[in-house]
Amino acid sequence: MPLFDRFPALRELPRVALCTLPSPVELMPPVGAGGDIWIKRDDLNAAVGGGNKVRTLEFLLGNVKRGDAVLTVGGAGSNHVLSTAIHAARLGATATAFRWRHDMNPAAELTAARIAAEMPGMHVGRSAVVAVTRARLRGLSREVHYIPLGGSSPLGALGHVNAALELAAQIEAGDLPRPHRIVLPLGSGGTAAGLLLGFAVAGIDIPIVGARVGPRFFASRYRVLALARQTSGLIERLTGESLPAVDRNRLRVVHHVYGGAYGRPLAVATEAAASLHGATGIQLDATYSAKAFVAALDEARDARDPTLFWLTFDARCLIN
């Protein structure tokens, strides 16, 4: 854990080792004019249930013991909810979730079916606001370990501060050139917030391009920057160190791949995902990663320098 090498005091935090790190980086086959596209294979960051959420869960499930109850919240086809269920079960805990209906796509349908198998009998409501409110109120109970929407909290974001330091080490080792931008899906914002702070700590100037995949009220630049500041404050309180400020200009949000609703497929994203699968065997999901991949292609098209696409989705959990 590069995070612990940089901040030894954080070793005292409760944490459960769920990941196999570092996740690899790969150069994508050429896709036409433009700079190279590298892929950070966070779909391979755990033996089971990989993806960006497992990094957060290493800290968010740190206090969970066998027989405990874990509660979270998310959409009907939420990767976060499924990841929480999978990894809570690995620890001998039982996970439940408040969920809401949204536009679906094939990967989301498979995710919802897998969630139903992991959490039998759980009701799926119509309103995201109602689901989040009920989860927060229920989470006040000491009888459950509450994990917020997307796992996006200062504690959860530490997993992606570590991810940024991990990538910095891979760049230093020559595993890939320093990318001139990193493109990833922007949902609840924990991944982007942790990476922004981690690169500031590492002293590496790499802009983050967040491809918005959800409504602005929860997928926003303001939310990411606020969470990065809160995570910085957490580290400062626990270590007594003063951290460098996150440069807000290092975060850019693009909106053209949203598609009009959370989970709604985008035709150009479906085509791009099929092309990537045919060339590499990598499978993307229509809710998050396929849309972000379109944004990565757009960023690289007119560039002469490398772009890094951060793959946050693990398709293996849908077929195993």
**Domain with 294 in it: what CATH number?**
3.40.50.1100
Q: Are residues 129 and 81 in the same domain?
A: yes
Structurally, the chain folds into a number of domains equal to: 2
Q: What is the pLDDT of residue 35?
A: 87
Q: Are residues 196 and 288 in the same domain?
A: yes
Last residue of a domain, one of 136, 151, 166: 151
37-75 b/e (C-beta count within 10 Å ≥ 16 → b): bbbbbbbbbbeebbbbbbbbbbbbbeebeeebebbbbbb
Last residue of a domain, one of 134, 151, 168: 151
Q: Are residues 232 and 314 in the same domain?
A: yes
**β-sheet bridge partners, residue 69:** 94
Distance in angstroms (rounded) separating the CA atoms of residues 96 and 225: 29
Q: Are residues 182 and 211 in the same domain?
A: yes
Q: Are residues 194 and 222 in the same domain?
A: yes
Q: Are residues 142 and 221 in the same domain?
A: no
Which domain does 264 fall in, by range? 2-50+152-318
Phi, psi at 277, each rounded to 5°: -65, -40
Last residue of a domain, one of 151, 167, 202: 151
Q: Are residues 134 and 254 in the same domain?
A: no
Q: Are residues 87 and 132 in the same domain?
A: yes
**β-sheet bridge partners, residue 307:** 37
- In the three-class reduction of DSSP (H, G, I as helix; E, B as strand; rest coil), residue 219 is classed as coil
Q: In terms of Cα–Cα distance, which of 243, 201, 208, 205 is closest to 224? A: 208
In order, the DSSP letters of 81-139 are HHHHHHHHHHTT-EEEEEEE-----HHHHHHHHHHHHHSTT--EES-HHHHHHHHHHHH
Cis peptide before 215 (omega within 30 of 0): no
- What's the whole-model pTM score? 0.96
106-124 b/e (C-beta count within 10 Å ≥ 16 → b): ebbebbbebbeebbeeeeb
Q: Are residues 282 and 300 in the same domain?
A: yes
- In the three-class reduction of DSSP (H, G, I as helix; E, B as strand; rest coil), residue 179 is classed as coil
List strand residue ranges (DSSP E) for 169-274, in order.
182-186, 208-212, 251-254
Q: Are residues 247 and 301 in the same domain?
A: yes
Distance in angstroms (rounded) separating the CA atoms of residues 304 and 40: 19
Q: Which two tokens stand for residue 311?
A: 């793959």
Q: Are residues 291 and 189 in the same domain?
A: yes
Phi, psi at 218, each rounded to 5°: -125, -10
Q: Are residues 173 and 141 in the same domain?
A: no
- Listed as ranges, residues in the chain with pLDDT below 70 are 32-33, 320
Contact yes or no for 297/269 (Cβ under 8 A): no
